[in-house]
Structure 1
Amino acid sequence: MDYSHGRLATILVAASIMVVGCTSSPPDSPPAPSPAVNQAGAGADGAGDPYYPTDGNGGYDVTDYNVSVSYDPAAGTLDGDTTVTANATADLNRFNLDLVGFDIGNVDVNDKPAQFTREGDHELVITPSEPVAKGASFKARVRYKGTPAAKEDGQLGKNGWQKSRSGGAFVAGEPHSATFWFPANDHPRDKATFRLTARVPDGWSVISNGREEPSTSAEGWTTFRWVEETRLATYLTTIGIDKWTYERSTLPDGIPVVTAYAPGVENKKQLEARLPEILTFLSSKFGPYPQKVAGGIYLNEDIGFSLETQGRPIYAKWTNLETVVHENAHQWFGDSVTVDTWADICLNECFASYAQWLWAEAKDRQNLDQRYRSAVDRVKGRDTFWGNKLYGMGKGNEFHGVYDKGVLAMHALRRQIGEDAFNRVLKEWPAAYKDANASWRQFEDFVQRIAGQDLRGFYDAWFHSDKIPADQYLYPGTLRG
């Protein structure tokens, strides 16, 4: 994700740095995950994230989402029919899915009618006609309809289903977006494959994640189909309904590229034309491109962020070259290697933000040591800048430090461990955790093994502290003046 409010490319090149206030944070060590079940046979109503404890659910792992929707832009209503395929990790008399809003028509589990209730603002509690045994694969089919919603998020603005100025709609948001349009186990820890079948009136079209399959038309409606074969976190799914202009091509290695432009942003084609160059550069730093597709979704909307929706990022109207670099760096850091909890967000944003510096170093011949020192000089006395922790930041503060303090921390880490070790980390970390989840603690251990150094003091100073690091950590290696 890239923030519009003082984007990193502007923040550290301009004469000043945007400073975001901090609030008090909890201890660094998150609580243990919740159990798979809350009581005998009842799947837990949360995945145990320290910041969003009711996000996701326990008792099962999703393997696939098969989402079918019909949307009428004129009426603003959606009919949905989603099948969730999962493996039970406990004996289940009942289990939960996450879904915001909608009227539920019926629910089937393994093709048999199931009972259901709604609890809270997003829990769909399902009781199958027969218990699901631990280790068994099962299918839960939910049919629903209504007007999709969005929700204000204090950090980033709206999350969820949003109307576009053309009359269409799109979905974007972090940490929440998927459950505003389909039922899911809504936590990054449970990654699954994804298939979308979307029916819209003729004249409208649909863009989503994954491989494009042939569309069909009948009785004034067109059905579009998209298949994402690489497992993804739920917040990385998307749908865009508009009168898109599509561009299709392939990368040199044959990976298909599909990019969609909303009416009014066709001028972004020149920017997207650099995608092969960007992916070639990022692959040289991070290893082979980890997705099976590429491209982008260019909105004509001034939303507060662009987002790394898997294989096909969503871009706000203000998107520039640095944003495209940032969101595609996320295809390694965030999409392929996904956070274990939301406290680990620096694994996504600190790396993607530093990718912009790597690009500037290679393409614009920027002296990053000089850029770093200038940035530190501008914020040296600003306690509110250093007060944003990069780990253990607390709920609601996940994005406050990772774009500015985070990029400085990554450059300091590079100088602390040396060029050879840092380059190994850039490639070996995404290779070691490809298509998996990882935590910040695992990253600290991983880097320390490669560096052959005791980095506990450095980590404490940069990632766990809310104070400016001591000079030995603020100016390591070639940063010493």
Structure 2
Amino acid sequence: MIAGSRGRRILVAGVVGLGMLLAPAASLGVDHGGTSFVSGASGAGDAYFPFAGNGGYDVRHYDLDVTYAPPGPAPAPLTGRLDGEATLRLRATQNLDRFNLDLRGMEVDRVMIDGRQAREVAPPPDGETVEGLAYWQVQDDAARQWELTIQPRPRIKAGRTVRLVVRYHGDTTRPEDIEGVLYGWVTTRDGAMVVSEPEGSMTWYPVSDHPTDKATYSFEITVPEGKVAVANGLPARRPTTRQGWTTWYWRAPDLQASYLTTASVGDYEFRRSETPAGLPIIDAVDDGLTPDNLATTNASLALQAEMIDFLDQFGRYPFNSAGAIVDDDSVGYALETQTRPVYSRAASEGTVVHELAHQWFGNAVSPTRWADIWLNEGWATYAEWIWSEEQGGDTAQAQFDAVLEIPADDPFWHTVVADPGPLGLFLDPIYDRGAATLFALRTKIGDDAFLTGVRRWVSRYDDGTARTADFEVLFESVSGQDLDEFFDVWLHTPEKPTTW
């Protein structure tokens, strides 16, 4: 990712305060056979976002069928309308009495589990249960706690896979993340720019919104005729138009983290090409770009096939397609949405190689916890450095030296790269000190061990997640060196490195 700048409290069984790392299993139920059932945790256990993701199940697939009406022309309010039906195939990992999904700002109309309709009830007193199939919604903006709680009947035994359908609707605006930066379903005058890092997917569909619960996706996105809807993966079929509305169909068969999903809508023109190896590249470029931004974008996107070939030094490109979505929104934002990064205003060369590198680092291998985000951004920034050198620009050494020229008393060095805090995810040190860490590591262990390590990293953790500790263990193994001091200096100490 590259960014240009950086209600009422209801307590329900299984939902706790913001300071808790993991919401405990709060209610116990027993079926007639004596089996115990629990409430799935209301978070995935992430210290930075305690209520993002959920426990007790693994989502295997999302089928998202949404209809979107963008705002009217100015001076109409910058508000759209979203009507959706999300069909989830999920597998219980515990005996579940109830479980949660993340959903923010949407009204739920209907819930069905394996074809049986749930009924809506008011939240019961803390610790109590309501018999019968039920669902209710809990929202608490103060604690960033947005949960749709579902109580299935019959209860779901561990190992069982169920089909959950949630029908919902709501007005769309321009939601903000914890830092006040736009994310999620960002409403634009001509459509929507959908960019959800770190936990903004819940603003447009019910989801287990954490990288540790990856799933496959399919999309049906219906928009006013003349608008274009772009999502992850490849088109599943040709768009269809009926009574002034066009439906676009996309399918993403590769596992992906929820924050990497997109369903951007706008006045896009499609461009199709492929790499020499036959990988499809699909670009959607907004027809409202200024001439200068369009020229920059055209020049950068023309290099994508060459960039992918260059980045193959880290391992084979991990997905079924590549490309870009370039929107004319003025946010000044870029995000590595899987297979099809989103760029606002323009796609510069450095940003394009950065977001393409994320397809390996962040997308194929995602962070186990958001504290590990340097494993995304440090690698993508390092890819910018070596691409620049490859193209005859600044060398990686020169860019490393520029980082080391930052004075020791500069706040830049005060961030702990491996644990920056929830408000430090997108600070400069995560990118630049992260990249410098990789440059220094390569210098220390040599090219052969470094490249062996990075390929093994991608291969071992592809389709999953990994932590900083996993990274440290792997590179010690491939190098045969004790790197404890090195990693302590570069990743865990809020001071400028001097010796390593």
- Relative to the length of structure 1, the TM-score reads 0.89
**Residue number in structure 2 paired with 1:88:** 92
User: Which of 390, 414, 435 is equivalent to 2:442?
Assistant: 414
CA distance in 1, matches of 2:277, 2:180: 36
Residue 264 of structure 1: how far off its partner (Å):
2.1
**Residue number in structure 2 paired with 1:21:** none
Cα pair 1:245 1:260 within 8 Å, conserved: yes
Letter in 2 for 1:150: R
User: Which of 458, 462, 468 is equivalent to 1:440?
Assistant: 468
The reply on whether 1:242 has 2:230 as its aligned counterpart is no
CA distance in 2, matches of 1:456, 1:32: 30
The reply on whether 1:102 has 2:126 as its aligned counterpart is no
Q: What secondary structure, in the 3-state scheme, does the structure 2 residue paired with 1:356 have?
A: helix
Letter in 1 for 2:209: D
User: Which of 98, 118, 135 is equivalent to 1:116?
Assistant: 135
Residue 357 of structure 1: how far off its partner (Å):
0.7
User: Which of 198, 205, 224 is equivalent to 1:175?
Assistant: 198
Residue 372 of structure 1: how far off its partner (Å):
2.1
CA distance in 1, matches of 2:322, 2:206: 26
Letter in 1 for 2:43: G
**Residue number in structure 2 paired with 1:125:** 149
Residue 152 of structure 1: how far off its partner (Å):
2.3
Instruction: Within 5 Å, give how 1:361-400 maps onto structure 2.
Output: 361-364=389-392, 366-377=394-405, 379-400=406-427
Q: What secondary structure, in the 3-state scheme, does the structure 1 residue paired with 2:475 have?
A: helix
CA gap of 1:392–1:160, structure 2 versus 1, over 3 A, is same
Q: What secondary structure, in the 3-state scheme, does the structure 2 residue paired with 1:95 have?
A: strand
What are the ranges of 5 or more consecutive residues in structure 2 without an aligned counterpart? Answer: 7-18, 29-37, 73-79, 119-133, 141-145
Instruction: Within 5 Å, give how 1:63-78 maps onto structure 2.
Output: 63-74=60-71, 76-78=80-82
User: Which of 327, 332, 347 is equivalent to 1:299?
Assistant: 327
CA gap of 1:190–1:424, structure 2 versus 1, over 3 A, is same
User: Which of 33, 47, 50 is equivalent to 1:50?
Assistant: 47
Aligned-residue sequence identity (percent) comes to 37
1:383-402 CA-to-partner distances (Å, cap 9, x unmatched) read 31111111122221122221
1:337-392 CA-to-partner distances (Å, cap 9, x unmatched) read 01111011111010001000110122216443343224312x13333111111112
CA distance in 2, matches of 1:36, 1:438: 24
Residue 150 of structure 1: how far off its partner (Å):
3.3
CA distance in 1, matches of 2:139, 2:5: 32
- Relative to the length of structure 2, the TM-score reads 0.85
Residue 156 of structure 1: how far off its partner (Å):
6.8
CA gap of 1:357–1:291, structure 2 versus 1, over 3 A, is same
CA distance in 1, matches of 2:314, 2:27: 44
Residue 214 of structure 1: how far off its partner (Å):
1.3
**How many residues of Structure 1 are paired with residues of Structure 2 in the alignment?**
445
Structure having greater relative contact order (Cα 8 Å, sep ≥ 6): 1
The reply on whether 1:217 has 2:241 as its aligned counterpart is yes
The reply on whether 1:276 has 2:305 as its aligned counterpart is yes
Instruction: Within 5 Å, give how 1:340-379 maps onto structure 2.
Output: 340-364=368-392, 366-377=394-405, 379=406
CA distance in 2, matches of 1:197, 1:174: 22
Residue 35 of structure 1: how far off its partner (Å):
7.4
Residue 303 of structure 1: how far off its partner (Å):
1.7
Residue 120 of structure 1: how far off its partner (Å):
2.5
CA distance in 2, matches of 1:4, 1:158: 11
The reply on whether 1:203 has 2:230 as its aligned counterpart is no
Letter in 2 for 1:98: D
Q: What secondary structure, in the 3-state scheme, does the structure 2 residue paired with 1:454 have?
A: coil
Cα pair 1:308 1:330 within 8 Å, conserved: yes
Cα pair 2:403 2:432 within 8 Å, conserved: no
Letter in 2 for 1:59: G
**Residue number in structure 2 paired with 1:188:** 211
CA distance in 2, matches of 1:250, 1:88: 40
CA-atom RMSD, angstroms?
1.9
Cα pair 1:171 1:238 within 8 Å, conserved: yes
**Residue number in structure 2 paired with 1:4:** 4
Residue 304 of structure 1: how far off its partner (Å):
4.1
**Further displaced range: 185-194 or 68-77:** 68-77
1:52-73 CA-to-partner distances (Å, cap 9, x unmatched) read 1111111000000000001111
Letter in 1 for 2:308: L
Q: What secondary structure, in the 3-state scheme, does the structure 2 residue paired with 1:67 have?
A: strand
CA distance in 2, matches of 1:434, 1:240: 26
**Residue number in structure 2 paired with 1:24:** none
CA distance in 1, matches of 2:234, 2:397: 41
Cα pair 1:387 1:466 within 8 Å, conserved: yes
